[in-house]
Structure 1
């Protein structure tokens, strides 16, 4: 298949659209009337203010803590959920040096 391929079934293809992912899709000749389709906020919507960069903590993470976060991120990206007993092994792996830890993360990411 190359380029753009148009729907050949006309409006029947619109029935396959997920209304949660496509809130403005036309169904039965009418667009779904939801606030998200028109960009209108509900009365109970809460808009959080933008974070203030000056209020951030300036303390750097310890290397062991940084490696733990990176290892959890790599495992999450690979779709591996650590079991409660695995936390001791993760703790031991985080005490390794940065070079060994980088190789470990590379192995996890390429195992997908």
Structure 2
């Protein structure tokens, strides 16, 4: 198989819409149909910003640990419940060594 192919796994009678995030350039048609209507003339998809043009915003250590913890839980297939957010905040306030052990336990890596 060569090139990109749009999946044909849609409900009967519905148009096959390519996801622009998974298939860049799939919506180059000037007026493609979608579930939310049609694109108007002058509408366009925004390109991803170039890395050198992004605003550098350093993360606080607890914010970085929270993102890492959510990523580890998601990778392990563990969905935090709404009541778990306070526990996640408390865990992210711990030091990096404790947080590394916590991630090792979640991901079961030696």
Same fold (TM over 0.5): yes
Q: Please give the root-mean-square deviation of Cα atoms over the aligned residues, in Å.
A: 2.8
Q: TM-score, normalised by structure 1?
A: 0.58
Structure 1 residue runs of 4 or more that deviate by more than 4 Å after TM superposition: none
Structure 2 CA distance for partners of 1:74 and 1:41, relative to 1, 3 Å: same
Q: Does 1:73 align with 2:71?
A: yes
Aligned length: 80
Deviations 1:88-107 (A, max 9, x none): 00000001111110110111
Structure with the higher helix share, 1 or 2? 1
Q: CA deviation at 1:35?
A: 9.2
Aligned-pair CA distance for 1:56: 1.1
Give distance in 1, aligned partners of 2:88 and 2:17: 45
- Choose from 24, 32, 42 the match for 2:29: 42
Q: 1:50 to 1:86 in 2, by over 3 A?
A: closer
- 2:101 is matched with which residue? 103
**Residues 1:82 and 2:43 aligned together:** no
Structure-2 change in CA distance of 1:41 and 1:90 (3 Å): same
- Give, in whole Å, the separation in 2 of the partners of 1:64 and 1:35: 40
In structure 2, relative to structure 1, the CA distance for the partners of 1:47 and 1:88 (3 Å cut) is same
User: CA separation in 1, counterparts of 2:62 and 2:27?
Assistant: 46
Unaligned runs of 5+ in 2: 1-6, 10-15, 19-25, 33-43
Q: 1:35·1:41 contact (CA, 8 Å) conserved in 2? A: no
